[in-house]
Chain A
Amino acid sequence: MTSTIERSPVKVRARSQRPDRTGARAAPLFGLPAVAVVALLLYLPFLWTTYVSFTSYDGLASPVWSGLANYKAMFSDPDLVGALVNTLLWVVGMVTLPVALGLLVAVLTYGHKWGTWLRLPFLLPYAISGVAVGVIWGFVLQPDGALGQALGFFGLPGAHTGWLQAGPGNTIMMIIAVTWQAAGVNALLFVVGLQSIPSEPLEAARLDGADGFKLFRFHLWPQLRPITTVVVGLSIVGSLKTFDVVWVMTQGGPGTSSETLALSMYKETFVLNDYGQGAAIALFLSLVTFAASILYLRYQLGDAREQG
């Protein structure tokens, strides 16, 4: 191609056409690796799991078609129903606690003289992995551990509670641990949202005598809606997948009292070798995640349309 251009400058006139044609011909070569890798390692396994979820399969003999049996079991097995309830608890917990705290921290630090520094303690845990968060909080919450000792020191009740030893308390404590990790990043996102709010209307509202809570409720909060959608969407999807913190802190126990669906899926497949059941849980989890994402995207696109 290079030589063509050098040899006959006349052809240069056709150049506005040429890049598209040569480009389109070579384009598949550049796109192929991404498509191949995604098809082979994400889509193909996805289809296989979908198929296996309708079978009885132990990973060794061939899968035997069993229709909806695995799904029926999921909604009747008390352990799995418990995991379902815990997962719901996680969703509710994660769209309230870290979101509210993140918002609080963002509103308090935004425009504050030392805002960036005061936000830092909340951001630090975000950089720590779920496994390390589990290790730290497992230590804090062990019987008569750091939390118990602190409560005892202040003469508060609960000093000798086994925080992780019974449901639903153990799930709630783990939600608090993840709140500790996640609030900071929500605060960061809310600050980004606050920065995008024009300052003139706010000044006007202030002059009209709006302050503190009123200013927040009627002026800031409505304008934060797009970013709130992002934060809530992230929280829902994240909470459905919760695995590492629970795995490290309780492995779903004692018994199955703190299992989430993400954890049940792992246990059914890799501990109990009930591949079919594990696949059914995985597919159910995917459908819920998918539905949540669609709802969230529709919200987002709705916003975009309003703004033209």
Chain B
Amino acid sequence: MSRVKTAVLIVLGLLWLAPVYLLVVNASKSVDGYDAKTVWKPAGFDLFANFGDAWSKAALSDTLVSTTMYSVIAPVLAVLVGAAAGYAIVVLKLKRGFLWFVFIFGGTIFPLQMILMPLFSGYANSGLYDTRIGMIVVYTAISVPFSAFVMRNFFTGIARSVFEAAVVDGGGLFRIFRSIYLPMAGSALAAIFILQATFVWNDLLLGLTLSQSDSVRPIMPALTGLQSTYGGAALPTVLAGGLLVSLPTVILFLAAQRFFSRGLALGQF
């Protein structure tokens, strides 16, 4: 029985790895030597040349800088804003706190499609369209409800006496938040950060809608641009681009698998 299990798993696993194999092998072929009839056979190793090619053709260097900015700054802001909300509701006992919490968390219900058009018009009218600030603002807003959700749950688990003791010790409310509650929430903050950073990195729809120029556009819309422009002509370049943009999330994922599963079990429904 156990041998059958193992055999099934190995066959399925190989099947699952086949697309990854194809990606790596064909992203490594030279653009000139690429032959559409032999995609399963490895040939040469021009991966880094293709990386460079994708880099310059899709203006990835600008894009990469912006995307990195977005997927670091927005989740950090969201984590802080969400934690402050959780602190206000749970620790400071905000009046009608639960209602406010439902209001904030309700923000996760809308599909992105529901807010795209007004955001596009609003951004166009206010000068936020196609700016890095605009992108950071929208990614932060999207990430806040989930962050507030996790942080509220986390703070609920902290004994009330911690807060009372801190007040007696003479800490201001802001200092108590910054130097007691935030540090205690380290692991929860990290989990939210990783999940939201991955979300921002992988976003296509908001980037496609709210940005245009190479220096503002996030990486996923840039990659789709590369694909449609160069089509079948330079497949190794397109594939190298696909591999390149996947590396950060794959590495992050493998490094923080536990956070991912916990975060998934926690929040997204």
Contacts and interface: CB of A to CB of B under 8 A. Distances in A.
Interface stretch (B44-52, B118-126, B184-192): B118-126
A43 B118 CA distance: 11
B94 A28 contact: yes
Interface residues of B, number: 101
B86 to A, nearest CB: 9
A24 B20 contact: no
A52 interface: yes
Contacts of B111: 240-241, 262, 282, 285-286, 289
A45 interface: yes
Interface in B1-52: 1-2, 5-6, 8-10, 12-14, 16-17, 19-20, 22-23, 26, 36-40
A41 B23 contact: no
A26 B163 CA distance: 14
A247 to B, nearest CB: 7
B81 interface: yes
B269 A237 contact: yes
B249 interface: yes
Interface in B103-146: 103-104, 106-107, 109-122, 137-138, 140-142, 144-145
Interface in A138-154: 138-140, 142, 144-146, 149-150, 153
B204 A28 contact: no
Nearest to B254: A127
23 contacts: A1-B170, A5-B170, A6-B170, A23-B92, A29-B88, A41-B137, A42-B142, A49-B114, A124-B17, A131-B242, A132-B223, A135-B239, A136-B23, A137-B19, A139-B238, A189-B261, A230-B269, A241-B113, A243-B204, A243-B205, A244-B205, A279-B117, A286-B111
Interface stretch (A10-18, A67-75, A161-169): A10-18
A118 B148 contact: no
B93 A180 contact: no
A22 B264 contact: no
Main secondary structure of the interface of B (DSSP, over half): helix
B167 interface: yes
Interface residues of A, number: 106
Given A129-B246, A136-B19, A46 B115 contact: yes
B89 A26 contact: no
A108 B5 contact: yes
A33 B23 CA distance: 43
A44 interface: yes
A145 B36 contact: yes
Contact of A41 (B9, B141, B238, B243): B141
3 interchain residue pairs of minimum CB distance: A127-B253, A23-B92, A34-B85
B66 to A, nearest CB: 16
Nearest to B261: A188
Interface stretch (A76-84, A198-206, A217-225, A265-273): A265-273
B16 A38 contact: no
Given A129-B245, A241-B112, A45 B118 contact: yes
Interface string A269-305: 1100001001101110110011001001100000000
Given A37-B140, A41-B119, A127-B249, A27 B94 contact: yes
A2 interface: yes
Given A27-B95, A149-B37, A37 B141 contact: yes
